Amino acid sequence: MIKPLFLLLVALLSCMLPTLGTSQHPLWIRYPAISPNGQTIAFSYKGDIYTVSISGGLAKQLTTHPGYDSHPIWSPDGKQIAFQSDREGSQDIYIMPALGGTPSQLTFQSGSEIPCCFSPDGESVYFTASNGFDKEYGQFPFPNMQQLYRVPAKGGRIERIISLPVNNVSVNQTDNLFLYHDYKGYEDAWRKHHTSSIARDIWIYNKKERKTRKLSSFKGENREPVFSPDEQDVYYLSEQSGDFNIWKMSLQHPDTTIQITFHAKNPVRSLSIAVDGTLCYSFDGEIYTIREGEKARKINISILTDQVESREILKNFTTGAQEIAVSPKGKEIAFIQRGDLFVTSVDYSTTRCITNTPSQERQIDFSPDGRSIVYAAERDGIWNIFCSTLTNPKDNAFTYATSWEEKQLTHSKEAPCFQPQYSPDGKYIAYIENRTTLKVLNLQTNKSITILDGKYNYSYVDGDQYYCWAPDSKHILASFFENGGWNNSDLALLPISETRPPINLTRSAYNDNTPKWVMKGNAIIYRSDYNGYRNHGSWGTNSDLYILFLNSTEWNNWKKTKEEREFYGQDTLKDKNAPFELEHLSDRLLRLTWSASSVGDFYLTPDGKKLYYSARSEEGYDLWVQDLQEQSTRLCLKNGGGQLIPHEASHKLFILSRGRIQVLDLNSGQNRPVTYNADFNWRPGEERHYIFEHIWKQMADKLYDPNMNNTDWQYYHDTYQRFLPHINNNYDFSEMLSEMLGELNVSHTGTRYTRQENNITGKLGAFFDEKFQEDGVKITEILHQGPLDLPQKGVKPGVIIRRINNKPIRKGQDWQHLLNRTVGERTLLTLYDPSTRNEWNVFVKPIASDHALRYNRWIAQRRSIVDSLSNGRIGYVHVEAMNTPSFRRVFSEALGMNRNKEAIIVDTRFNTGGWLHEDLLTLFSGKKYMDISPRGQHVCVEPFNKWSKPSILLVNEGNYSDGHGFPYGYRTLGLGKIIGMPIPGTMTLVWWETQQDPTLVFGIPQMGIKANNGQYLEHQQLEPDTRVENDPNKLLQGIDQQLEQAVRELLKEINQ
């Protein structure tokens, strides 16, 4: 009887398996690795490590921790698996038995360490990490570049193996030869189909000889090399056939290549190899194996696991509101958070969630009667206008309402509609269609009319259009530009009763924006940079607030003195419906603020007596009040900048600043917080589905090329959408999105997942002797201005750090973890000087990153090289980024310390962009046209704020975005020669859009830049006049061949 009962239970359990979490066809399986004996495959699925037989079947789950586990690799005997995990906060390396068990942590630094392979004897794990180059290496200290390290498999001190930038390393059986693909500079790792100088190549490094040799020659992507079993050939991934497939090359004759797999449209990833030559890889979310000369075979896998991620998770918000609207009675505040609409009481923390959808709502406004809230929502792949309205006549507030209903107001199928605003009389709703066209919806007829054509604006960021209703509900003010004036907006007056071109109220070459109606509609107040100082280097200006009167009556009233107002009173308009006086507008324009600043939002009281505005300070934006009658200004609220919404009936000003809501009583000057307690049912799976659709549609709507770079965008939507049910974390999600976006083969895209890391390892700002085998760590060089730059306390090269916070540093043991969580903290170091045998203590404050210190060291070295090779005749500057700090440094050094040099080298290598090309081109395009010489004394030349002597430009594959734009302009204007390596064509403007899940950001390369020949600079590689490739073997010796060639070229020019 027992046996039949047992069989019955087994049968019942088998029927129940699907409901218990069995995935008969799991997808988005990541980072497969085949065991050395070719019998088992390890892989990552939904953030855990599994193994499965090479024959397929039910996979075995090895890790169950809530952290994210990935990148498994096998020990040579197949008994252990090392992998990456963030279970302790950082992405560290762990090791565990291949049959399962408790993992042991091997690395402890913050950041990301990626395991590559075991040493042949299984005693060490090789991994890559961005811990900084060694002191001899001459490469620019680009923070994203990883080097090769090893750590004992039983735990211990890490050791640097290769200082070159390397990825996806494999080692031969003698533990001497290392295959890797290089990293030349920034480009999204998941971009595909590009053939440019930035594309990765395969190299082989000889550890004994400390030399590396390039193997691949295809100009596109070559990645993930592994040795063949006899170590005579290399298998690797390449796009040589158009899509990533497995290829083979001979180590002796690497130009001879053979294609092994023939997949199309989707990429092959994660290549590994067994001792018997079986190749394993992922394709289209699944695992395949192949032996050379045979057909690829898909591994059919099933997984039995619980549903780790809840379908619905209750969250609670008390801060973090992103936008607000105040009810007409001033008793409620509507706000947006995590893409949903909430309403809270002004006086109590009671809060109601109005929408609670996985999609996004935004841009809210109360109806004049307070019974409706209008907003934009993205539903079914398109933005439209919706409103929620109270349905119970007894309800007079959303916060305590018993019921409400949602109604869709616009029904666009193609053009998105958002930014709705009620008219003051409640009869109309204005909104933006297709991101730039301003329309007005008549709520009685349900028909819309266009009042501002889309050609008058360009939308860079969704929601960046500005307009506001007039008090009479008959006119609208809007920011706009006329033909070609995108960089300097004007103000348009738009009547809603007639179709006519916009009335330009300002006609200025300056930036006039964000107009608001004041003085009962008789004047407008707006922001302008007319009198503001420009930042040194294209990044922003200071602004003022101006008032423009639309009729002479109100203008004359304004001009009266306080005494005249008290004695004569105010003039009144004879006809309140009189048309605006649009002639001689500039005669009725007045600057309100006395000194320009970085002005945020603003509000003028109805009587025109007080002006409230936010302005930037060192710590953020502060709220100021200016008494326009008494001619005085005072600080009203520290850190009170942000969105300002007045409630004039109660004389209150509501402020949204840094996610917190405050209310300021304008009579008493007292402010208090508005607290809320918002419960939110978070549905992570549904939210990811929405974000996927949103990103796909955003790219379709806004990519600079409407033909999507000849990509079948719908195909890739359908291909990648299939993986959503198999993803439960943002690591996998961001990679999947990046894979999809990478199919477009454009720059400035991909999805970034940023998580909060609390276990940050402090940096001491020094180089250490990596061959030192005793207790402690020996200092070999101290970085200038770093935490250890303490010569007065005896800290110098040769000194040994013995203890950190009284914890000893033992020989062969990891010591970096002793600096975890020490950033900015007073940290005790015990030092020992072998030359004097003295031991003493010093306190230091470790820093989060030493990149700036390493960069300054690199700059000083370049400057010294140039000075030495040119006998002091040539100057040197490096343009780190296209921003104001970089420009100020270049300007100061070029026209300061290098003023009397005969020529200058302008180094832009690894400049990843920004917006500065015009300023730099102006700076280095000077032509001397006079000397200034009082009484025979030479004091300067004109132009004195430009470089007017010879220059030469250094570039390389790491120039990106405007780091490409400046060299293009330099060549087009004929300013000098360009030396170095070709620059990938990436001069395109991007919008990095943060999602409603704020840990996710993706890029839209939306604004293409065309050369004078009409061709987009995107994809147009810039070739230097003299091509010089820095030999990695020379860089290991600190030799910069590109810089040396630039000196030779300039000396030749100035000697002529």
Active site residues: 748, 961, 1018
Q: How do strand 977-980 and strand 951-955 relate by DSSP bridges? A: parallel
Work out the widest C-alpha separation in the chain, in whole angstroms. Answer: 121
Question: Length of the chain in residues, anyone?
Answer: 1056
CB atoms within 10 A of CB 298: 12
CB atoms within 10 A of CB 359: 21
On whether the CB atoms of residues 906 and 966 are closer than 8 A, the answer is: no
- What letter does residue 1021 receive in the DSSP assignment? P
Report which residue type is found at 534. R
Q: What DSSP string describes 907-935?
A: E-TT---BS-HHHHHHHT-----EEE-GG
Of 419, 434, 474, the residue nearest 702 (C-alpha): 434
CB atoms within 10 A of CB 662: 18
User: Bridge partners of 882?
Assistant: 914
Two tokens, residue 770: 């990596």
CA–CA distance, 881 with 852 (Å, rounded to integer): 13
- The DSSP element (H or E) to which 133 belongs, if any, is none
CA–CA distance, 623 with 634 (Å, rounded to integer): 9
- The DSSP element (H or E) to which 60 belongs, if any, is strand 60-61
Report which residue type is found at 411. H
On whether the CB atoms of residues 234 and 278 are closer than 8 A, the answer is: no
| Cα–Cα distance list, 298 to 245, 289, 290, 982 (Å) | 15, 7, 9, 40
Is the bond leading into 943 cis (omega within 30 degrees of zero)?
yes
Contacts of 955 (CB under 8 A, 6+ apart): 908, 909, 967, 978, 979, 980, 981, 983, 1022, 1024
Say whether 369 sits in a helix, a strand or coil: coil
Q: Where are the alpha helices (DSSP H) in 703-779?
A: 713-721, 730-742
Q: How do strand 544-549 and strand 523-528 relate by DSSP bridges? A: antiparallel
On whether the CB atoms of residues 686 and 357 are closer than 8 A, the answer is: no
Crossing angle of helices 684-702 and 730-742, in 10° steps, is: 20
User: Bridge partners of 653?
Assistant: 646, 664
Burial class (CB in 10 A: 0-12, 13-18, 19+), 254: middle
Two tokens, residue 82: 């090392």
List strand residue ranges (DSSP E) for 648-755, in order.
Answer: 652-657, 660-665, 671-674, 678-682, 751-753
Provide the Cα torsion 848, 852, 855, 859; round to 10°.
-160
